[in-house]
Structure 1
């Protein structure tokens, strides 16, 4: 392998490791704060349960993506075996769907709790949401497992081997024969993640509509615009729009990593796609921390203690 290629791969691996560390730190902080509060109060709120489930799924997703990067760069022979990679593909598909669905649950929860509509269906869902959150999360887990089990049967052999052995004639012919089947499988998997993205987008648009109606009502009543309802709307909209933007970037990176099966320089394309994909589960956790009052206060306390420790060491 040329030295320039090794330098590029080393740089990409360093970036991936940094993104992984930041992502694990942020998501572990969310899970730790909520679990400590759960133990202290012997109960957990619906929003904390969703955030904790989301944080755990993203920690697992970060581990799988980084592991796949290291295997591709450092242990390429594993890519030609197929058996070990099927396990990684299963957990990647599982954690990917879990992360997306849990984030969608968070968007729906924000919408139901903050939006102001008087439709009977909306009011019924608003009243029932707290009691059904655990069952919804379990349903997301069951659905993700259901999706992940069959995809590992036909996903690995052609893609994984051709990543490292495109030059082999028999594999090239096999890849050509199964190209349509592989493309259909990947297209189907990618389209499945568009459904929760669409649900989150609808929630965001309805939040905008609710905010517009609320501010218009306040203007007609000649009241100020800065009230708790407006602030809650804005906070929820920031959380949802950040998820949508980051997920779109993640989705495009995921397409790059998977569609690189049909491109030259497959290995480098996969690594670049995975490095970009790490941005979504790594950075969104910090946006959630800043948007949640309890998590934000806990993070400020931690930063204050760290500052005190560093100050004492300097003196």
Structure 2
């Protein structure tokens, strides 16, 4: 890549990172200030959104760090230790992020959907008390899932794979490459489970919304009411996560291709730029879909506009 193209892509990466940090810090800061101000137990939805925001801040930092190292200091990846450490934190933040987003989908489902099944009603009543424990379990599970990446930290098989000089790979290099590739594929496939749970929650929310609208038609009460608006808002939040995560997962696979296929730096750079979109943009969708965060953002934007107007910008 030319120096000009490198600089342009780096500016895009920093821009995406800055936007993502701004949105996620805003979510965490507003919820934290509200918790301090009210001096009472933090609401479950605020706890989930804050946890999700923190996990996405970490994910953004890991992706940007990996991007800078790949572009500016590619020799750091000459040994397996540095590569595996970064891969561990990317895998960890990736899984934590997906699990927390799934918790949000589950929370929306139990709080908003309307079903008469006894188990659903029991969970609907207990979901607020269960959320802190669920988040802790998801965090611990993500750590356990990520640990295999740190095995054999000092393996230098990537040097064998990425070398520009044609030479015969040793048996050890081939074995390490196959083993590490299998671990990476397996860890990526494990995200399909929480993704599937979110997908099921989305489908059940759609079913609940459809039943609610039919009930309103029978009662001749119209189409819009607070329950309908809550259903629609939850569906938007979940479907945006599903679509963005699909794009993110594909870009993640592209970004990991450099570990196994030489001469793929440009594809990896593009993959990481696309991967930054998911943790950066979904936070703003959540802000627009949450009444408290939406009102807070309007106040902040109003103050910023007032300050800029006074300074004649």
Q: Given the two structures, how large is their TM-score scaled by the length of structure 1? A: 0.93
**Structure 2 residue 61 is matched with structure 1 residue 72:** no
Which residues in structure 2 correspond to 1:64-103 (within 5 Å)? Answer: 64-103=62-101
Which residues in structure 2 correspond to 1:77-226 (within 5 Å)? Answer: 77-154=75-152, 157=155, 160-161=158-159, 164-167=162-165, 169=167, 175-226=173-224
| Offset at residue 179 of structure 1 (A) | 4.0
- Cα distance in 2 for partners of 1:180, 1:125 equals 43
Query: After superposition, what is the alpha-carbon deviation per residue over 1:233-279, rounded to whole angstroms, capped at 9, x for unaligned?
Result: 00000000000000000000011112344434222222111111000
Query: After superposition, what is the alpha-carbon deviation per residue over 1:102-136, rounded to whole angstroms, capped at 9, x for unaligned?
Result: 00000000010000001001001111100011110
| Offset at residue 14 of structure 1 (A) | 1.4
- Cα distance in 2 for partners of 1:198, 1:285 equals 21
Q: 84-93 vs 255-264, which deviates more?
A: 255-264
CA RMSD of aligned residues (A): 1.9
**Structure 2 residue 28 is matched with structure 1 residue 31:** yes
| Offset at residue 183 of structure 1 (A) | 2.9
Return the match for 2:10 from 9, 13, 34: 13
Contact 2:80 2:157 in 1 (8 A): no
Contact 1:113 1:126 in 2 (8 A): yes
Contact 2:81 2:153 in 1 (8 A): no
For these two proteins, the number of residue pairs brought into alignment is 312
- Structure 2: segments with no counterpart, 5+ residues: none
- Cα distance in 1 for partners of 2:228, 2:153 equals 47
- Structure 1: segments with no counterpart, 5+ residues: none
**Structure 2 residue 38 is matched with structure 1 residue 41:** yes
Return the match for 1:306 from 300, 304, 307: 304
